[in-house]
Amino acid sequence: MPEEKIVVLMGSPRDLHFAAKVKSFLKKEKFPVSCVYNVASAHRTPEKLLNDLKENEDSAASIVYITVAGLSDALSGVVAGYSRFPVIACPPDSDKHGGMKVFSSTAMPSGIPVAYVAKPENAALVAMRIFALNNPELKEKLDKFKQKMAKAVYDGAEEVKKVTEKKDVNKLAV
């Protein structure tokens, strides 16, 4: 099986604080997929971007790109237009620009698919689901992750039940 790798492409080094959450999530949840970071601007350094993409296209790895770029987010579209691998746009300024950001990240011409995920941890999770389609070990880890998430809800429900049985619910409202 080829190496599975998330390539996080940032438009600027300033995006690293936001983008670092991808690798942190993978590490915290113990997903055995490599994650590498790179900076290349579709506007300022298009030659570098295309050269970096070409290296990845020629590799034997299975790759999912997570693009982290603000403003117009041309990075996601250029990567999707050049690469055979999936592209997940995860802009660091989604909260600030809302619906306009979704448009600039995903309004691509036919044949240039870009997915949009606002949170870097969820972008990493989408990548894991893509890899798990052909990797039973990752599928099992995703199943365990899903069970852990469900357990947290059930545990929370039990805690709320205990607290509300002991006290007046109206006094608990914040």
User: What local confidence, expressed as pLDDT, does residue 106 receive?
Assistant: 80
User: What local confidence, expressed as pLDDT, does residue 71 receive?
Assistant: 79
- Between 107 and 31, the more confident residue is 31
CA distances to 40, 76, 78, 145 from 43, in Å: 9, 12, 10, 38
Domain 4-134, CATH class in plain words: alpha beta
Residues with Cβ < 8 Å from 84, sequence gap 6 or more? 57
Name the residue ranges covered by the structural domains of the chain: 4-134, 145-174
> In this model, does residue 97 exceed pLDDT 80?
no
